[in-house]
């Protein structure tokens, strides 16, 4: 993914060239798959870092794992191309490709627990079609991104007409961004986001555990912010082994302070849970258990125990939390700020977060993501997940706080803009403020269903036009 302020714009130009040449090829599926293989190997190379550098799996096996996953993911854009490659009319190609691509992106995010990472939608947080995420979600961003590229490549209009049409579409999309579906609630909240920067290879080392616990404990106790947040597994030991004295020590001694930190807890079945706990003056402990688990890291797919056994770090089967968990409540005078929690890559799944807001008995006013990306070293994974978090704020219309171990620790406003962030790979605390918001966007109310129906209808129309 292009790391430029206008990367989403350049990405569309790249798609124009890709679509132009792929429709000239007879073996379109194979060449599309080959292109996707290279794209995903580049975008997901950080998986090699986690497998080889952290997990100590042999380099050849780690490389093969990245290639195998990329080969699978590359099937989806290849199928999208294959579905429309034989269409003859330019209109059928444009509408058909945009629609088939959106449907395949959705399928990629659903099958085998889903892996929608490195989709076209995240490029549009810095592109021309960001505002469509508020209406129809990230899939709509991908639809317009591919649709415009296909029109510029396959449309039969002259260059001037294409230019005018493109400016019109982009201008209308930007105008859409001026509409706000949420509004501020209460006063800005003083927050402290703690970034420990502990290496993953040492994170579960018994001789290193106390150092991490001491660091986060001291950072929490010394902060006077209204909300203090420490990242995923800030305390990398089971919660049952953490003394009540330590919990009492970090428990706020004033009603004006709240603490959220990542721990390893236990579910009703006795299996561990990747969790976050919330502490306030009343000594009430709120707990959120991660719902969307990571394959291999937090649950073992059938037949892959041998692969997990190759890791030299503790992994296992975790219990899955419910989608209907209530948010953490932060008291702010007469206002109650409902904070939805996410752990690790749960912010990759926009439809799940929208559903959580839609079915919750309490309206969410703020998102917090607790993440540990030390698994992936100094790779592009932190920037990629930051873009995804920005997309989630655009979709839901509420801010996001990101507290991470190694970065990117940041504050994202409802428009998906990063307003504050810490440098990566440094031990520091980000002290700032965030404004909570109230309301629901159309995407929160409706989810992915509208864009899937629209895409299905357009694809059927394109197929009908081609048959004629």
What are the residue numbers of the active site? 232, 290, 344
Q: CB of 465 within 8 A of CB of 218? A: no
Contact between 235 and 212 under an 8 Å Cβ cutoff? The reply is yes
Cβ neighbours of 159 (radius 10 Å): 8
What the block records as the tokens of 190 is 């003083």
Determine which helix (DSSP H) or strand (DSSP E) holds 410, and give its type and residue range: strand 410-412
β pairing state of 400-404 and 410-412: antiparallel
Phi-psi region of 447 (alpha: psi -120 to 50; beta: other; left: phi over 0): left
Count the Cβ atoms, other than its own, within 10 Å of residue 309: 9
Tokens of 430: 């980000």
Q: Which residue is listed with tokens 């989709």?
A: 119
Which residues have C-beta within 8 Å of that of residue 419, sequence separation ≥ 6?
A: 411, 412, 413, 432
- Tokens found for residue 443: 């995407």
Tokens of 427: 């031990």
User: What distance in Å separates the CA atoms of residue 367 and residue 191, rounded to the nearest whole number?
Assistant: 13
Tokens encoding 84: 């429309």
Answer yes or no: are the C-beta atoms of 109 and 139 closer than 8 Å: no
Query: In degrees rounded to 5, what are phi and psi of residue 9?
Result: -75, -45
Residues 6+ apart with CB under 8 A from 299: 293, 317, 318, 320
């Amino acid at each position: 993914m292009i790391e430029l302020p206008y990367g989403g714009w350049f990405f569309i130009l790249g798609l124009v060239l890709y679509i132009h040449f792929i429709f000239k090829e007879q073996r379109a599926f194979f060449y599309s798959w080959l292109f996707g293989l290279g794209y995903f190997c580049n975008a997901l190379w950080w998986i090699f870092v986690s497998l080889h550098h952290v997990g100590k799996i042999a380099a050849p096996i780690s490389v093969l794992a990245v290639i195998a996953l990329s080969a699978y993911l590359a099937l989806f854009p290849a199928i999208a191309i294959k579905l429309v490659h034989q269409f003859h009319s330019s209109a059928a190609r444009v509408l058909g490709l945009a629609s088939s691509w959106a449907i395949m992106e959705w399928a990629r995010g659903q099958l085998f627990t889903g892996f929608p990472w490195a989709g076209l939608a995240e490029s549009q947080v810095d592109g021309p079609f960001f505002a469509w995420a508020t209406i129809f979600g990230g899939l709509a961003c991908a639809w317009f991104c591919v649709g415009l590229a296909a029109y510029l490549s396959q449309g039969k209009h002259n260059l001037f007409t294409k230019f005018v049409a493109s400016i019109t579409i982009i201008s209308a999309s930007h105008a859409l961004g001026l509409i706000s579906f949420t509004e501020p609630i209460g006063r800005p909240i003083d927050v402290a986001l703690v970034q420990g920067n502990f290496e993953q290879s040492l994170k579960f080392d018994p001789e290193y555990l106390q150092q991490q616990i001491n660091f986060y404990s001291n950072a929490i106790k010394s902060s006077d912010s209204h909300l203090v947040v420490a990242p995923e597994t800030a305390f990398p030991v089971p919660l049952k082994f953490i003394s009540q004295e330590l919990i009492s020590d970090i428990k706020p001694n004033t009603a004006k302070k709240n603490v959220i930190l990542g721990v390893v807890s236990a579910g009703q079945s006795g299996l561990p849970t990747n969790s976050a706990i919330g502490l306030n003056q009343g000594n009430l402990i709120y707990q959120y258990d991660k719902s969307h688990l990571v394959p291999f890291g937090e649950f073992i797919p059938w037949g892959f125990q041998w692969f997990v056994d190759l890791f030299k770090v503790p992994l296992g089967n975790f219990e899955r939390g419910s989608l209907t968990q209530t948010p953490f409540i932060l008291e702010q005078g007469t206002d109650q700020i409902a904070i939805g929690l996410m752990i690790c890559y749960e912010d990759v799944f926009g439809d799940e977060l929208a559903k959580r807001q839609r079915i919750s008995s309490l309206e969410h006013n703020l998102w917090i993501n607790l993440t540990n990306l030390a698994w992936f070293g100094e790779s592009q994974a932190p920037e990629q997940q930051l873009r995804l978090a920005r997309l989630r704020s655009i979709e839901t219309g509420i801010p996001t706080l990101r507290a991470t171990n190694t970065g990117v620790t940041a504050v994202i406003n409802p428009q998906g803009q990063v307003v504050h962030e810490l440098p990566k790979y440094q031990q520091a605390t980000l002290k700032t403020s965030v404004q909570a918001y109230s309301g629901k966007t159309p995407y929160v109310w409706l989810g992915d269903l509208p864009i899937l129906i629209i895409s299905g209808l357009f694809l059927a129309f394109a197929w009908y036009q081609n048959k004629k």
